[in-house]
Every structure is written in C-alpha cells, then in structure tokens.
Amino acid sequence: MIFNNINEAEKDPILGLTEEFKNDLNPQKINLSVGVYQDDNGNTPTLPSVLEAEKEILNQNISKTYKPIDGDKEFIEESIKLIAGEAIFPEIKNTSFGLNTPGGTGALRLSSDFLFQFSPKSKVWISNPSWPNHKPIFEASGFDVTSYPYFNSESNSIDFENMISVIKEIPEGDILVLHGCCHNPTGEDLKGDQWDQISEISKKNNLLVICDFAYQGLGDGLDDDAAGVRKMIRDLDNIIICSSYSKNFGLYSERVGCLIYNSKFEDNYTPVLSHMKKTARSNYSNPPAHGSEIVKFILSNNSLRSKWEEDLSGIRNRVKDMRSLLVTELNNERCSKDFSFIENQKGMFSYTGLNKDQVNSLKKNYSIYIVNSGRINIAGITTKNCKYIAKAINEVI
Ligand SMILES: Cc1ncc(COP(=O)(O)O)c(C=O)c1O
C-alpha cells in the first residue's frame, strides 16, 4: 500500500529553526531566520491602510461568489500599473495580461506548470544562491533546474563578471529567473548597466525571463525598485513577472500575488492566456478574494493609496535604520571584520558572511537564530536587541 512505504520528507530548514527557537527558554532569544517584517517590538502588524480598507470592504457587503479564474479585472489592471508604472502602462496595456494568483509562490508555480507543457526540455536557471523555494517549485513541474553565479562571498557583492559570462552561454529557449529587487537571500541587487547587459543578452539569445518581484517598495521605493523590471518589459519580446503583495502590503496569509505576461506580439495574448487559465483551473481553480479586494481597494483610491505608501515607507525606513544601527553597533564593538556592506544591501535580507560554526555558536551561546547560509532578516533587529546582536557577532568572530 502506498502509505506504508513513505519516508519522512526533509524538514524545511527555516521552519525547523523556528521550532527550536520556540523551545528555547532564554529570555534574550532572537529569531533572525524567518522572512516576515517585524516592527521595533518584534510584532508583524497589519498595516493601518489595510485595516481601513478592510473596514470599508466589510461595509460594502461584497459577495463571496467565485472570482473569475484569472481574477478581478480592476485588480489586474492596478497590478500591471503598479509594476509597469504610469508611463509604460498605456504602451503595454493591450499586449499584457495578468492572473491573480495565490501569492507570489502561486504565480511562480503557475508560470512553471504552464511553461513545462510547452517547453519541457528547457532548463531553468536560478541565481546561486536564491530563494530556497525556487528550485523545488520548478522541479515540481518537471523542469531541470540549474544555477548561474550571483554572489561573491569574499567581496560581499554581486559576482557580475561570472554571472554574465554564464548567462551568455545559456542555450536559446531556456528559462532565466531573475529577482526584480531586494534579492533574497543576499540583499545585493543588479545596477542599471547590469540590467542593460542582461536584458540585451536575453533578447539576443531568445531566453525566456521570469522576473520574481516579491519586494517592490522595500528597497528604495516603488518606482526605483521597478527600474530593472520596467527595462525588461520595454526590451524583451516576451516576459513573465511574478509579483507578490505579501511583503509590501503585509498580506502574507491572505495569499495575494499576480502573474503578469507581456509580449510584443499581440497574437500571443489570447492563446497564452487561455492556457494559463486552463492550468490555473486544474490547480486552485480561482484565486482567493479577500486579499486582492484589499489591494484593489487601496490602489484605486487616492487617499488610501497615499496612506499605504506611507505605511510602506515606514517599513522600508525601519529596515534601512536597522542596517545602519547594526553597522554602528559592530563598529562600537571594534569588530575586526568590516560589515559596512550591510548598509548598502536592499530589502529585508542580508548575507552576513558568517560561517556555519559562527552561526551555530550564535545559537548555542547567545540564542540568536540565523539560517546556516549566514542570511539574516534585518527586520528581526530592533533598537532594543541590536547591541546584544552586535556584541554576540563580534564575540563569535
Ligand atoms: C524571492 C521570493 N519570491 C517569492 C516569494 C513568495 O511570496 P509569497 O508569500 O507571496 O508566496 C518570496 C517569499 O518569501 C520570496 O522571498
């Protein structure tokens, strides 16, 4: 019988750490491993703009009947506008479509399942390192997943020379996964001219780019963070963008994301959309509605949108402040290693360069929980715990 021969699946390393953290009795314990925003009290709040939208939505007594397979039209239009920007939107609105998906993960999996039906021999190229769920998502559809170099741990910066030389050799028709901004896990983003070069090669070599855009607004701002994605939309014949509202709206558990497809060929629109819908139908059928109602409500209402942008800049600025504070506290400890690179990285995560032994020692001796790669969630740092973290890091080094 099937069930008698199943071994236990490998544990998710981050969830396993959180379990250990819960059982740790040290009152000074700190969890820097999970990927959610926390405020200066260590809480993950619902944004005030989101609460206000929820109250309005409740008052409107909206029906809970099924949404269309691709989601609500206005939500999709607002999503495309947010990503493409007001300037590009008129140019692309007739050659783009979106599907409201269950989170950014849902958008990635839908892209992957769709592409595997039509191009099963393509390889999927992800950055090394990348978000740990990229590989399993594309493998689950059946793809072979491989990687291109991304990070130089000696210099704590992008290894662009090696990255570009590998990307140049990727065979035509393969799939290139890029992080739109706030690269997870390193916090190191591509610069303007680097986007130019990658865009040029992708076009020349006919690579299909999937841009994973899970952190718009958490780096430098909604427009600045979209610069690379917008460049690719303008340059490439075909592109898929997988956006997420988990982080920038704090709607983690509501599962709101959007798959956006743009093509320079108008004829692609209808057949591609029809197969994407067919793929979605046999998976989750149609998207959850509460989160996407909130996003639609906020993005289409000037006053609520300004409030949300303020909430988002609060998140962004706190993360930036914690980057600076950590570097200051490490300097105050007269730490022998230069950590100034942490201040220049973007988004919630940072690759600290701490090795496995140092990570273990932080857990064992200081109850500070970090994933083995040395990635920390900067949003887990507060004005109260930063000194303790800096002292502990200095001591394990
Ligand atoms: C790089 C990256 N892509 C996609 C996602 C998926 O986000 P969601 O929670 O919306 O599925 C995450 C979430 O952590 C992420 O870090």
- pLDDT by residue (tens digit) across 150-186? 999 888 899 999 999 999 999 999 999 999 999 999 9
Beta strands in 4-159 (DSSP E): 30-31, 96-101, 123-128, 144-149, 151-152, 157-158
From 36, 137, 179, 184, give the residue whose CB has the most ligand 1 atoms within 8 Å, as the site to mutate: 184
pLDDT on residue 351: 92
The structure tokens listed for 385 are: 């715990």
Q: Could you give the 3-state DSSP secondary structure of residue 76? A: helix
**389 pocket-lining for ligand 1 (C-beta < 6 Å):** no
Query: Do residues 247 and 294 both lie within one domain?
Result: yes
Query: Do residues 356 and 370 both lie within one domain?
Result: yes
pLDDT on residue 18: 87
Is pLDDT above 90 for 14?
no
Is pLDDT above 80 for 72?
yes
Query: Do residues 366 and 232 both lie within one domain?
Result: no
**257 pocket-lining for ligand 1 (C-beta < 6 Å):** yes
Show which residues are catalytic.
Answer: 131, 212, 247
Q: Are 314 and 322 in contact (CB under 8 A)?
A: no
Is pLDDT above 80 for 70?
yes
Query: Do residues 204 and 324 both lie within one domain?
Result: no
Query: Do residues 113 and 226 both lie within one domain?
Result: yes
Query: Do residues 179 and 316 both lie within one domain?
Result: no
The residues, any chain, with a CB within 8 Å of residue 213's CB and separated by 6 or more, are: 83, 104, 179, 180, 181, 226, 229, 241, 242, 243, 244
Confidence bin at 34 (pLDDT 50/70/90):
confident
Query: Do residues 217 and 269 both lie within one domain?
Result: yes
Residues in the chain: 397
Query: Do residues 259 and 318 both lie within one domain?
Result: no
Q: What is the pLDDT of residues 196-207, one digit of tens each?
A: 999 999 999 999
Residue having the nearest C-alpha atom to atom 14 of ligand 1: 35
Number of domains forming the structure of the chain: 2
> Which of ligand 1's atoms lies nearest the C-alpha of 184?
1
- For residue 115, report the distance from its CA to the centre of ligand 1, in Å: 20
Q: Could you give the 3-state DSSP secondary structure of residue 349? A: strand
Phi then psi for residue 299, to 5 deg, are: -70, -25
Last residue of a domain, one of 283, 300, 317: 300
2 occurs within a structural domain: no
30 occurs within a structural domain: yes
Q: What is the mean pLDDT of residues 221-249?
A: 97
Query: Do residues 273 and 384 both lie within one domain?
Result: no
- For residue 216, report the distance from its CA to the centre of ligand 1, in Å: 11
pLDDT on residue 101: 98
**Any idea what the CATH number is for the domain that residue 263 is in?**
3.40.640.10
42 occurs within a structural domain: yes
**212 pocket-lining for ligand 1 (C-beta < 6 Å):** yes
Is pLDDT above 80 for 67?
yes
Burial call 105-130: b when 16+ CB within 10 Å, e when fewer: bbbbbbbbbbbbeeeeebbbbbbebb
Closest CA relative to residue 243, chosen from 207, 266, 211: 211
268 occurs within a structural domain: yes
pLDDT on residue 9: 87
Query: Do residues 235 and 344 both lie within one domain?
Result: no
362 occurs within a structural domain: yes
Last residue of a domain, one of 270, 300, 330: 300
Q: What is the mean pLDDT of residues 217-240?
A: 97
Q: What is the pLDDT of residues 300-352, one digit of tens each?
A: 999 999 999 999 999 999 999 999 999 999 999 999 999 999 999 999 999 99
pLDDT on residue 16: 82
pLDDT on residue 144: 98
Q: Are 107 and 284 in contact (CB under 8 A)?
A: no
> Which of ligand 1's atoms lies nearest the C-alpha of 103?
10
Share of the chain above pLDDT 90, in %: 91
**214 pocket-lining for ligand 1 (C-beta < 6 Å):** yes
Q: What pTM was computed for the model?
A: 0.96
Q: Could you give the 3-state DSSP secondary structure of residue 181? A: coil
- For residue 178, report the distance from its CA to the centre of ligand 1, in Å: 13
Query: Do residues 247 and 319 both lie within one domain?
Result: no
CA angle 10, 366, 12 (to 5 degrees): 10
Q: In the beta sheet, which residues pair with residue 175?
A: 124, 208
* Residues spanned by the domain of 156: 66-300
Q: Could you give the 3-state DSSP secondary structure of residue 55? A: helix
CA distance 208 to 175: 5
Residue having the nearest C-alpha atom to atom 15 of ligand 1: 214
Last residue of a domain, one of 273, 300, 327: 300
DSSP-derived secondary structure for 260-275: EEEES-GGGHHHHHHH
CA distance 315 to 346: 13
Closest CA relative to residue 187, chosen from 345, 381, 319, 323: 345
**Any idea what the CATH number is for the domain that residue 390 is in?**
3.90.1150.10
Phi then psi for residue 31, to 5 deg, are: -105, 110
**256 pocket-lining for ligand 1 (C-beta < 6 Å):** no
60 occurs within a structural domain: no
- For residue 81, report the distance from its CA to the centre of ligand 1, in Å: 20
59 occurs within a structural domain: no
Helix or strand (DSSP H, E) at 68: none
Is pLDDT above 80 for 13?
no
The residues, any chain, with a CB within 8 Å of residue 23's CB and separated by 6 or more, are: none
Query: Do residues 72 and 187 both lie within one domain?
Result: yes
- For residue 3, report the distance from its CA to the centre of ligand 1, in Å: 31
> Which of ligand 1's atoms lies nearest the C-alpha of 255?
10
54 occurs within a structural domain: no
